[in-house]
Structure 1
Amino acid sequence: MAALSADASAAARILAAIRDVPHGAVAGYGQIARRAGLPGRARMVARLLAGNDDPTLPWHRILRSDGRIAFPPASKGHREQARRLRAEGVVVANGRVRMPRSDHEDLDAALWGPEGA
């Protein structure tokens, strides 16, 4: 029973971290795991997203650590994720987004706006 409770707590923290990614920003699976207090659990984030059916969750903002969309190129999921990112002003080139150099850079941009703005 305690394991079930721990899994539910971890899932809730991951979902909260995903919801905290601002409009027009992106994060990697590992970044989300760290923000949820689960370092090294990027695959758990991916599994949770794969089974998610909440249409309000901004799943499209979560990418691989190198900025690539995780769906296979030319797949429906790949096209939809790229479309949603572009609709938020995110530049997607060849299925890839420029990732912030660190969590701090992403946080600074969210708090203070893009560098040079």
Structure 2
Amino acid sequence: MDSRTDFTKNVIKMIKAIPEGKVATYALIAKLAGKPQGSRGVGWILHSSTHGHSLPWQRVIKSGGKLSFPDMSPEYLRQKRLLELEGVEFTNGKVDLRIYLWDKKPKNSSHFRPKPKKKKTR
């Protein structure tokens, strides 16, 4: 029997879905998982489930584009290095969310546009 809550399951699913080279904020993951005020819960789930679920933990960052760990700590340097290996760039210690924030749109959604209906001519 799976004792995880729906929120926990959704958080894990969302974190696994973040593509390489993109980041998501704790707040975005909470919102997508159905609990907009659940940012701290996302952090706890990420901390407790990363190894058991092989989560790409490095792709989850704070809303201002900063990493959660203290600047220049071993954890900070590891997360920064992992993101840089994926092509994420840092400017003044921050990730530009306008460039790297995951928007969770299906890959082909921008290419699909319904064809306009032809007007009948007499």
- Structure-1-length-normalised TM-score: 0.78
Q: Which runs of 5+ in 2 are unaligned?
A: 109-122
The CA deviation at 1:81 is 0.5
- Name the SS for the 1:100 alignment partner: helix
Distance 1:78 1:12 in 2: 26
Q: Residue 111 of structure 1 corresponds to which residue in structure 2?
A: 107
Higher helix share: 1
Q: Can you list the C-alpha shifts for 1:40-74, whole angstroms capped at 9, x where unaligned?
A: 11110011122234272101000000100000011
C-alpha deviation, 1:85, in angstroms:
0.3
Q: Which residue of 1 aligns with 2:81?
A: 83
State the alpha-carbon separation in 2 of the partners of residues 61 and 72 from structure 1. 16
Look up the match of 1:22. Answer: 19
Q: With structure 2 as the length reference, what TM-score do the two structures score?
A: 0.75
Question: Of residues 2, 5, 9 in structure 2, which corresponds to 1:8?
Answer: 5
Indicate the percent of aligned positions where both proteins have the same amino acid: 32
Give the secondary structure class of the aligned counterpart of 1:52. Answer: helix
Select which of 1, 8, 29 maps to 1:32. 29
Pair member with larger Rg: 2
- Tell me, yes or no, if the aligned pair for 1:91 and 1:97 is still in contact at 8 Å: yes
User: What is the CA–CA distance in structure 2 between the aligned matches of 1:106 and 1:15, rounded to whole Å?
Assistant: 17
Distance in 2 (CA, whole Å) between partners of 1:25 and 1:64 is 13
1:39 counterpart letter in structure 2: P
1:14-52 Cα distance to aligned partner (Å, 9 max, x none): 010111111100010000001111111111001112223
Distance 1:30 1:72 in 2: 19
Structure 1 stretches of 4+ with a deviation exceeding 3 A read none
What stretches of structure 1 of length at least 5 have no aligned partner?
113-117
State the 1:95 CA deviation.
Answer: 2.7
Q: Do 2:50 and 2:56's aligned partners in 1 also have CA atoms closer than 8 Å?
A: no
CA–CA separation in structure 2 for the residues paired with 1:34 and 1:100: 18
- Give 1:115's aligned residue: none
Question: Distance in 2 between the 1:65 and 1:111 partners?
Answer: 24
